[in-house]
Structure 1
Amino acid sequence: MRTALRGRSARAEASTGPPALERSDIGGVLLIQPRDSHDGLAVEFAGGLTPDPHHTQAVLDLPARVTRETWKAAARLLRRQGHSFRIVLGRHEGVESLAGLQQLADLLRREILAPDAPVGAAAGGWLWIPEDRGSGWLRFTPGMVPRLVSRRFPEPAWEPGLRDTTWQPAQGATAEPLPAGVWLRPQHENDPGRHRHRLTTELAARTDRLTVVIGSPMGGSLPTAAITGWWAALPPATRRAVRFVQYGPSEIANDFGQGLADLLGSPVTLCTGLPERTGAATDVRVHTVLPEGTRGWRPFAQDVEYSPRPRRGGPSTQPRIVSHRRPVPDLPEITEDVYKQTYRYAPGAVLEVVRSGLWLRPPYDPPDADLVRRAPTAPAHAVIWHDTTVSATADEMRTLAWQVRERLGTATAQDCRVLPSHRAPRPSPGPSASQAADHPPAPRPGRSVAPSRETEQVPDTSIPPGRQPHWTAHPGVRRLLTGGSVGGPASTLSDAVARRLASELRKLPRFEGPVVVRVQSDTPVALGLYQPHRLVTEWGFWPASTNLREIDAPLDTDGESRGPVTFVVWSVNARATRALEPNAPDRVVFLPGTAFRVLPAPDVPSAVVLLREVPPSEAVSEDGGTTAQLDKDALDGLKQAVTDMPWARSSRRTA
């Protein structure tokens, strides 16, 4: 940050002649440089330094050749300016500079703190000495040998307990010091320099928080042994200052914060994103980190504390939000419960900050409160949940949730999805810390993106754990599930198997939300048949995928297509077949006879068809006699789902 010069320049009255130096005050930092030689970079550097409450700060931008007379001239300008000094040299000449600084301390008869090598500028005006340059800041005392003080300025309270050089806490992993703390990354990183520069110049540092960055974007999975090995080397008193940041993949599965607490057997604090600040800016902004390393959205919950699960099993303690940012200005905060971040929003409605985003609910805890509060932070988007447990107020809560979204501002609102609270994901039982790396990641919440009406509650008829239907091994069944035939005449074998298969599939969990089907065909697909509001029926098993990210960009067509056609469908009754097909966890299947309504899609490519599944309980007719509200809700969700597809994001960036 550039700071204007303040105060008069004081020139050294050196009777011996050159070098003539002058002193300027740059926002409380003394800048000493040759007379009539004003370096704008030196002024900017001095103005961006973090204040030191204990020492007078000075930047010595001295000429290339520094003699004893130069140090004497500098001493005359610094005399009577403070009881001790923190000095940064514009040009550091190694041993010669160290000898000169000791001479300056002797001349001033004052204590001086100065680095033993050129400093590196870090976020927020911090100064530190990378280990490939030197050891750190030295204390020069008159008549005594210099002593090492710290690698960083300001000096963090946690630094004395930190192993502050690069080392290997486990095979295949590296612990590398940062201005803000330490970076645990895979040893063989493709491009560590780019991420190192970001973590040095943008990652916010705090004197009371040791920030531990885990992993590297698009890099290998960091082994859990690296985390436990580094943790074991940290003194217990220093562990209380640790704040973890997930920057890349690791072997910890499911909820990263909870898995970390289980792994270490200790309460941990996790930042929901990367806390960053640029230059000397005082405000810190937390952004989630997308898989490729780019910035995501700004979470409202910023620091979350997790406690390890009981050793004998059982549910974990509800994570506690330690710090958050105010979602909407001027809302009165409710302070009765210090463990909940809630604001009064409307009569009978409060707005609570949760890990995944925000939650519009009644003033009391609804039955699904635990699920909503446990929903983890999704890197790509926020969720505004609205309560659906009370049918009389469900519509009002939904309206208020959309109102909150509009009040968040364009930049924040575009990263928010509005969802009913009954769609909050159920947490997995959670593996033990020793087994965490052997389990696949938990499914992300928030796949469905539009509010919908509450559907009829049905008993849980899912297959008990450890059991599978006896017919799952039949190859014909597997072919039917994937859209093929069983290999026999349709009138004999398929009908019998299909009836039994449909009956058993109804016992599987239903999936509600957007799914995608890509049709590859060498024959024309008459897109003209899919006119808006028309009813179509699929008489076979129709497989689809809940993973919208795997779909490539669709092509525009002139009404017929010999290539791929993408159907994006709002499902209400498709059956999730994960229990039958562990290798295809994203697959769902629509049962034979399922009806769909074609929805208007003027803003999507012509080779994309939007459909809404019409459940049997809904009264419909061929002329489109269904409620407009259901069509509108599904259309809103499908449009957002299409917008969130990778090819749609790419087209927006290149537009």
Structure 2
Amino acid sequence: MFVRDVHPILSVRRERGYPDVVSREPFRSDVGNLRPEGLVGPAEGARVSFWKRLRARAGASLNAKSEAGALLERTQVGHAEVVHLAGGVPHRARLFASSLAPDPQYRLVIVDLPERTLDELAAVLPVGTRGVRLVPVPSGEDLSLVDGQSLAEAVGSSVVLPLGAVRPSHAGVSFDDPRIDGRWVRYRPGAEASWAGRRLPQPPWDVPGTLAETRSLEGEVVAEPLPSGVWLRAAGDDRWTRAARARLTRWVPCRSDEIIVALGAEGLAPLSVEIVSRWWESFVGPHRELLRFVQVGPVRTDAGEPAGQALADAIGTEIVFYCGLPVHSLNGPEVVALRPDGSHGWSLFAHTVTYRPRESSVLPAMTPTLHSYRKPIPRLPKVTTGVYRYDSDTVVEVVPAGLWIRGEAEPDYSDFVRTLPPDPRTPTVFHNSSDGEMTAHHWQCAEEVAERLRRTTGAEVRVQPTDGIEPAPPTSWMSHPGKQAPVPEIDVPATQQPADEEEPLVLLMQLVGGHDAPTEDREAAVPEVAPAAKVIEMAEIAAADPVPDPPVVPEQTAPAASVPDDVRDRALIREAWPEHFAGVGDTEDLDAFTDLMAARLHLGPLGLEARRPDADTSGPLAALGRRAVEGLSGLARHRGVTAAAVAPTPDQWARLGEHGVLVEPGLCAMSLAQPASGTGTTDLLIWSMTGRVVERPGGDGKGVLFPPGTSFAVLEVIEPRENERGRVLLRELSDLKSRAQSLDDLILSSLRQSAERWRRTSASETVLNTEGEVGRLPGMPAENVLEGSTGR
């Protein structure tokens, strides 16, 4: 017969900071403890523990347990087990357990119980030689109410309990209050309690000392433990430190092969390199080579040099420095650039670089070398560290700011490109602009790589030549080493935690793998910008004399036949040209096929007829143009030279001589073949950036279509002379605001080479434009369509 009575050792009040010093006091449980009747006195606890252990090893049934113990359950969730009340695992416990990494030393047991049932843990804990680690759920009951020593005696193995409040971190937990040196305490049967680390999961370098306790350094600088290492920062406003601490705790993973040393924080005073150097000297032991520095705030350096170089000079040895913030996404470890507001930018290719100290203070610093990185493009053969072969004459090199397309021979300015910091808003693909005949090829390769990155990442990618290169515009403290951000004007009640600290960890981990929402600030640093060019609209060209104001007429409703309708347009196209839809049938993709066929028909004579000013706006030709625009979506882009044969009028020559920008309101068709030598008076060459490659209706070749609204910059105009054709060279502009003069020169050189090569080609080798897909200049009125061009 068993009775319930006062249990003298149930409650253990640990004094903060001293896990082996406890104060015992009687604690009356709401449920009570089972013990043999008549056992009283100081030895009661030990005898009860022995009885519990004996009964558990004998395989006692649940019916022999107390009423409260029978209401507890232990359920496997992920890498952990959850102890909870009968009736199902609570949602918060399941979410928390799913985010934890496995513990190689102990069995992880998540405790989600009310205070009145904590004394019944021994009834549901696993019994065996492997110890258990008890972890409370976020905002759960404090496990300091549990007597770890008695629990270890009851289960017959080690029991590890947290000393201090814990909260979720990346794949584990961290201690909530950095001002109190929280730790894990290990209790073993018949042995004294001992220190069991500060971090979960626990890396090999998690030992008592510098990385396990908060220390005050000189000049109001604090060394604060992190799950991933340590954070050196200046004392400051708690609103800034809380935000930075949450970011470093939740996002930066704890790794066994490196120790993160985070430097500074946004909004705090700049960190001194001398203080960091002295902290490094105090960090002695075999784990020093695992230190990896991460700059997350301002660091004061001489003349604004990189913090990594200044620190290497001060320490006098090599150091490894992160190019951004290391995080862990759904795709694995990544390093992301930090935007000025602390949000994550793009995923960097260069992860860490090695800085080496100067041999003398009067000598220039050595270029940092790539230490770790990710492969930029799959299946490219590796040439050397961070360099991959793109084709027979071109390599792709990983640099901190992005990627660099160059030849095998390194140019003289290689070190400068390798020291450019990343722009947190967008990656940059550099290309050599002084490689002679290979210049255009490297530029085209850079565009191909950038387009591939756009498709795979969904991010904006900037292509920039290496001549006239400039650093990214100042966007954060990284561009202002000595600048301190103002204190944010926000009100956080003392009794209320910031909202971001309550966000579930699993959700945060999922957010890393996503893409950031587009921001309004999308301007990028570019080389020397050409003067703003005049935009030539078609209305301006068509009106040689002032046009009088149109008469005022009453508003009229457009007839139903002229109102665009997708179904009606497609029906008109299939009815007008049924030969192109024979055998297609009524399939689910018929509408998409009709749109694609409309684009293909625009490369032939029908396209020229549809672009005439007197074309019917409600018939099949108008429907052909509308559906052709839809048919271009999803087609491959063409980057390179396109051609046509035209015959500009004198007025058009005059306007072309202004070297302005032509805006085409409709579809613009070009050929991929050499212009027909016997057609027109002038060769038109356009460098395409976003033109879509479209197959001709008969399947005998391909052309390029530009969607309505495309802008073209006039680069060169040469009027025809006796026995010599004229030449007009245009460049498609993808962005009018960031038109780079260096790219104009680069594309002009490539277009001239193509025009000269075609000029030397004999007439017998010339490929005629048999489909007659081009007959006018883009952005010009259509009256100058070549006579007979629709019949070629």
**Counterpart of 1:230 in 2: which secondary structure?**
helix
| Residue type of the alignment partner of 1:45 | F
1:538 maps to none
Query: 1:266 and 1:36, CA in 2 relative to 1: closer, same or farther beyond 3 A?
Result: same
On the 8 A contact 1:350/1:362 being kept in 2, the answer is yes
1:532 aligned to which of 530, 535, 548:
535
For structure 2, the 5+ residue unaligned runs are 1-59, 472-479, 484-522, 538-657, 666-710, 720-725, 743-792
1:345 maps to 390
**Counterpart of 2:348 in 1: which secondary structure?**
coil
1:177 maps to 225
Alignment of 1:25-44 (within 5 A): 25-44=76-95
Cα offset for 1:34?
Answer: 2.5
Q: Structure 1 CA distance, aligned partners of 2:734 and 2:87?
A: 70
Q: Structure 2 CA distance, aligned partners of 1:298 and 1:108?
A: 47
Aligned identity (percent) is 27
On the 8 A contact 1:300/1:325 being kept in 2, the answer is yes
Q: Structure 1 CA distance, aligned partners of 2:86 and 2:275?
A: 54
| Residue type of the alignment partner of 1:637 | S
Cα offset for 1:620?
Answer: 11
| Residue type of the alignment partner of 2:194 | R
2:783 maps to none
On the 8 A contact 1:11/1:35 being kept in 2, the answer is no
1:322 maps to 371
2:362 aligned to which of 300, 303, 313:
313
1:248 maps to 297
TM-score by length of 1: 0.62
Q: Structure 2 CA distance, aligned partners of 1:72 and 1:381?
A: 55
Q: Structure 1 CA distance, aligned partners of 2:741 and 2:69?
A: 68
Q: Structure 2 CA distance, aligned partners of 1:415 and 1:422?
A: 22
TM-score by length of 2: 0.52
Query: 1:514 and 1:531, CA in 2 relative to 1: closer, same or farther beyond 3 A?
Result: closer
Q: Structure 2 CA distance, aligned partners of 1:448 and 1:26?
A: 47
2:340 maps to 291
Q: Structure 2 CA distance, aligned partners of 1:74 and 1:365?
A: 67
- Residues 370-409 of structure 1: per-residue CA shift (max 9 Å, x gap): 3322333333332211123421111011011011000002
On the 8 A contact 1:71/1:103 being kept in 2, the answer is no
Alignment of 1:254-653 (within 5 A): 254-277=305-328, 281=330, 283-328=332-377, 330-334=378-382, 336-337=383-384, 340-410=385-455, 412=457, 414-424=459-469, 513-514=528-529, 531-532=534-535, 628=729, 635=736, 637-638=738-739
- Residues 334-359 of structure 1: per-residue CA shift (max 9 Å, x gap): 1x53xx21222223212111122101
Confirm or deny that 1:18 pairs with 2:65: no
On the 8 A contact 1:11/1:22 being kept in 2, the answer is no
On the 8 A contact 1:258/1:308 being kept in 2, the answer is yes
Alignment of 1:188-267 (within 5 A): 188-189=236-237, 191-235=240-284, 237-252=286-301, 253-267=304-318
On the 8 A contact 1:297/1:415 being kept in 2, the answer is no
**Counterpart of 2:464 in 1: which secondary structure?**
strand
- Residues 524-558 of structure 1: per-residue CA shift (max 9 Å, x gap): xxxxxx84379xxxxxxxxxxxxxxxxxxxxxxxx
**Does 316-325 or 412-421 show the bigger shift?**
412-421
**Counterpart of 1:513 in 2: which secondary structure?**
coil
| Residue type of the alignment partner of 1:116 | L
On the 8 A contact 2:394/2:406 being kept in 1, the answer is yes
Q: Structure 2 CA distance, aligned partners of 1:92 and 1:640?
A: 66
Cα offset for 1:129?
Answer: 5.5
On the 8 A contact 2:113/2:141 being kept in 1, the answer is no
Confirm or deny that 1:114 pairs with 2:161: yes
On the 8 A contact 1:274/1:289 being kept in 2, the answer is yes
Query: 1:291 and 1:631, CA in 2 relative to 1: closer, same or farther beyond 3 A?
Result: same
Q: Structure 2 CA distance, aligned partners of 1:421 and 1:300?
A: 19
- Residues 46-68 of structure 1: per-residue CA shift (max 9 Å, x gap): 22221012222222333321365
1:50 maps to 101
Confirm or deny that 1:74 pairs with 2:77: no
**Counterpart of 1:378 in 2: which secondary structure?**
coil
Query: 1:417 and 1:85, CA in 2 relative to 1: closer, same or farther beyond 3 A?
Result: same
2:516 maps to none
Cα offset for 1:412?
Answer: 4.8
CA RMSD of aligned residues (A): 4.0
On the 8 A contact 1:222/1:250 being kept in 2, the answer is yes
Q: Structure 1 CA distance, aligned partners of 2:169 and 2:65?
A: 40
Query: 1:516 and 1:119, CA in 2 relative to 1: closer, same or farther beyond 3 A?
Result: farther
On the 8 A contact 2:213/2:224 being kept in 1, the answer is yes
Cα offset for 1:13?
Answer: 4.0
| Residue type of the alignment partner of 2:379 | L
Q: Structure 1 CA distance, aligned partners of 2:257 and 2:464?
A: 37
| Residue type of the alignment partner of 2:418 | R
**Counterpart of 1:262 in 2: which secondary structure?**
helix
Cα offset for 1:313?
Answer: 3.3
Cα offset for 1:627?
Answer: 7.6
- How many residues end up aligned between the 2 structures? 461
On the 8 A contact 1:366/1:389 being kept in 2, the answer is no
2:235 maps to 187
- Residues 115-156 of structure 1: per-residue CA shift (max 9 Å, x gap): 123322101234446445662111111122211221111222
2:135 maps to 88
Cα offset for 1:613?
Answer: 14
On the 8 A contact 2:69/2:124 being kept in 1, the answer is no
On the 8 A contact 1:387/1:398 being kept in 2, the answer is yes
| Residue type of the alignment partner of 2:363 | G
1:584 maps to none
On the 8 A contact 1:297/1:381 being kept in 2, the answer is yes
For structure 1, the 5+ residue unaligned runs are 1-9, 427-435, 440-446, 451-511, 518-529, 535-595, 604-609, 642-655
**Does 289-298 or 82-91 show the bigger shift?**
82-91
- Residues 414-448 of structure 1: per-residue CA shift (max 9 Å, x gap): 4432122334569xxxxxxxxx9899xxxxxxx98
Cα offset for 1:259?
Answer: 2.5
Cα offset for 1:598?
Answer: 6.1
Cα offset for 1:319?
Answer: 1.6
Q: Structure 1 CA distance, aligned partners of 2:243 and 2:446?
A: 40
| Residue type of the alignment partner of 1:259 | A
Q: Structure 1 CA distance, aligned partners of 2:143 and 2:349?
A: 47
Confirm or deny that 1:105 pairs with 2:152: yes
- Residues 78-105 of structure 1: per-residue CA shift (max 9 Å, x gap): 124x5222222444445432x1x22111
Q: Structure 2 CA distance, aligned partners of 1:95 and 1:406?
A: 57
Query: 1:170 and 1:96, CA in 2 relative to 1: closer, same or farther beyond 3 A?
Result: same
**Counterpart of 1:59 in 2: which secondary structure?**
strand
Q: Structure 2 CA distance, aligned partners of 1:263 and 1:357?
A: 28
On the 8 A contact 1:214/1:248 being kept in 2, the answer is yes
Q: Rg: which structure is higher?
A: 2
Cα offset for 1:629?
Answer: 5.1
Q: Structure 1 CA distance, aligned partners of 2:105 and 2:159?
A: 11
1:125 maps to 172
1:541 maps to none
| Residue type of the alignment partner of 2:422 | T
**Counterpart of 2:344 in 1: which secondary structure?**
coil
